[in-house]
Amino acid sequence: MSQIVYHAANTRGKADLGWLKSYHTFSFGSYYNPGRMNFGALRVLNDDTVAGGKGFGEHPHDNMEIISIPLKGGLKHQDSMDNVAVISDGDIQVMSAGTGIFHQEHNDDQHEAVQFLQIWVYPNVLNVEPRYDQLTLNKADRHNKLQQVLSPNKDDAGVWIYQNAWFHLGDFDKGLNTEYELKAKGNGVYVFVLSGSIKIDGQILNTRDGFGIWDIDKFNIEVLENAEFLLMEVPMSF
Amino acid sequence: MEKVEILAVGKHPEIMKTILRLINSRPEWNGTIAYSADEALTNSQTIAFNVVLLCAGLDEAEARQIRAHFKVPIVQHYGGGSGLLYAEVYQALGV
């Protein structure tokens, strides 16, 4: 029997620092909700908007797989491994923080806001050597099909992380259906709607709603309105 | 009001300093850092800790040593500035 959890967009935690507006699906920073700590190995799903010319100063990370997906604008990354890069809509960035890394992220534009998702996944191994990677995705490859953008395998499509996780992006036209078959037993899938409207297991999901489903081998996604969404398959126990 | 005593044990000096600063930014918390299991055990002779955080760089043997010694909640801390720290401690304290 499948299990589900539904997180309406307006139930997320919110931080408004002026230059940063962030919505937290799970407890983060000063938002603490013991009932919203994680979905399996998925620990952080932040929906961030950073004002022009602003950003996060240097701060540390360790023992976490950190995935950034820009939705609008460009995000400049700089880290203690001497990586300097700008990622923008269509790119995906991954950092395995391992034994420890310092980095900073800033809006690459002085005027226009940048929007991006920051996603943290618990790793399946601690204290690895830190690593950084980024990839430009072909957005056409997700039109009316699921595009794999992350996996545990170095030679598979998308970026890779130290966890038995797979991420897919989809950009579907109204009226279509698609099926997602889980890759690994014991995994669940957290669905985050970027725009539009879909239905899964009887639950209608609109823009920025989240929905987790587990104890299931596959499920159907019905597209009610043109929709972009992210599927994050992660281990439920780790 | 008595402060919550938090011990953070890890190997990365810069990260440990950041963790200490973040812990002590909360008026109701007091942080202590240790760079090894032995140092953590020594600290426990003078401070009654409420929570122990296992931070980056500790190997399994040292983590085991700490788990065997302390009878308070022991949490694996996953670093990321203040992102997870507060929730980890609140959860350990049963808030």
Contact B90 A32 (CB under 8 A): yes
Domain boundary among A136, A170, A192: A136
What domains can you pick out in chain B, each with its CATH number?
4-93 (3.40.50.2300)
DSSP A143: B
Query: In this predicted complex, what is the ipTM?
Result: 0.86
Range of the structural domain that residue A89 is part of: 12-136
Domain co-membership, A119 together with A144: no
Long-range interactions of A144-148: CB distance < 8 A, separation 24+: A144/A171, A144/A172, A144/A173, A144/A176, A144/A178, A145/A170, A145/A178, A146/A170, A146/A178, A146/A180, A146/A231
Q: Are residues A16 and A102 in the same domain?
A: yes
User: Which residues does B71 contact at the CB level (< 8 Å), separation at least 6?
Assistant: none
**Which residue of chain A comes nearest to B12, CA vs CA?**
A100
User: Residue B39, CB half-sphere, CA atoms under 13 Å: how many?
Assistant: 11
The last residue of one of the domains, among A115, A136, A157, is: A136
Give dist(CA A27, CA B27) in Å, integer.
21
Q: Are residues A151 and A109 in the same domain?
A: no
3-state secondary structure (DSSP) of residue A94: strand
Is A5 a member of any domain?
no
Residues of A in contact with B59 (CB under 8 A): 127
Q: Are residues A127 and A17 in the same domain?
A: yes
How many distinct structural domains can be found in chain A? 2
**Residue A234, helix vs strand vs coil:** strand
Residue A3 lies in a domain: no
Q: Is residue A124 located within the same domain as residue A143?
A: no
Judgement on whether residues A124 and A211 belong to the same structural domain of the protein: no
Q: Do A72 and A89 lie in a common domain?
A: yes
- Interface mutation target, options A62, A96, A118, A121, chain B, most CBs of B under 10 Å: A62
Mind listing the pLDDT tens digit of every residue in chain A (238 residues)? 899 999 999 999 999 999 999 999 999 999 999 999 999 999 999 999 999 999 998 888 999 999 999 999 999 999 899 999 999 999 999 999 999 999 999 999 999 999 999 999 999 999 999 999 999 999 999 999 999 999 999 999 999 999 999 999 999 999 999 999 999 999 999 999 999 999 999 999 999 999 999 999 999 999 999 999 999 999 999 8
